[in-house]
């Protein structure tokens, strides 16, 4: 019974959590819809796999902000393909009971804490790799669950 109570407490901490603004120029966290490379919603088809994140519109070079008070947990590498080096960075974050990753972001630092609305880093030049795509930050939960309810 004790384990059930702990689990319920964790669920309650996350209940009602909403991401604040992620990217300068996109106050409402508008989502990438459809473009020549597909769609940006969670579960969209990507050739032989499903998209396991949610894409939030962000112009190349824009400032990326902490969506709430977060702890930075290291840099991540998005691709193994060297032709995508220009956008091959991201950051692991935790906050408000959530563990998530932001792809295509060059982080200012990789550890410590950042308060809601403070700068995390810069959106990388997505157009240099995917010309014609709607540039975006990819938000992915650490457990690959759907981030849509939080955004």
* Reported confidence tier of residue 46, pLDDT bands at 50, 70, 90: confident
pLDDT of residue 10: 45
DSSP states along the chain: -HHHHHHHHHHHHHTT------BTTBTT-PBP-EETTEE-STT-EETTEE--SEEEE--TT-EEE-SSSEEEEEEE---S-GGGGGG--EEEEEETTEEEEEESEEES-SEEEE-TTSEEEEE--GGGTSTTS--EEEEEETT----GGG-
* Reported confidence tier of residue 14, pLDDT bands at 50, 70, 90: low
Q: What is the set of domains in the chain, with CATH numbers? A: 18-150 (2.70.70.10)
* Reported confidence tier of residue 47, pLDDT bands at 50, 70, 90: confident
Mean pLDDT of 132-145: 97
Average pLDDT of the residues of the chain: 91
* Reported confidence tier of residue 15, pLDDT bands at 50, 70, 90: low
What pTM was estimated for this model as a whole?
0.88
Mean pLDDT of 125-137: 97
* Reported confidence tier of residue 151, pLDDT bands at 50, 70, 90: very high
Per-residue pLDDT of 52-109, as tens digits, reads 999 999 999 999 999 999 999 999 999 999 999 999 999 999 999 999 999 999 999 9
């Amino acid at each position: 019974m004790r384990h059930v109570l702990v689990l319920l407490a964790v669920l309650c901490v996350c209940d009602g959590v909403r991401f604040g603004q992620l990217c300068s120029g996109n106050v409402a966290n508008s989502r990438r819809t459809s473009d020549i490379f597909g769609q940006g919603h969670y579960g969209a088809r990507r050739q032989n796999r499903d998209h396991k994140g949610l894409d939030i519109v962000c112009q190349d070079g824009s400032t990326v902000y902490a969506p709430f008070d977060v702890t930075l947990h290291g840099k991540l590498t998005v691709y193994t393909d060297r032709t995508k080096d220009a956008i091959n960075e991201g950051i692991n974050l935790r906050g408000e009971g959530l563990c998530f990753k932001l792809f295509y972001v060059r982080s200012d630092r990789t550890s410590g804490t950042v308060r809601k609305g403070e700068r995390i880093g810069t959106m990388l030049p997505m157009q240099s790799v995917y010309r014609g795509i709607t540039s975006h930050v990819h938000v992915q939960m650490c457990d690959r669950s759907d981030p849509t309810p939080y955004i």
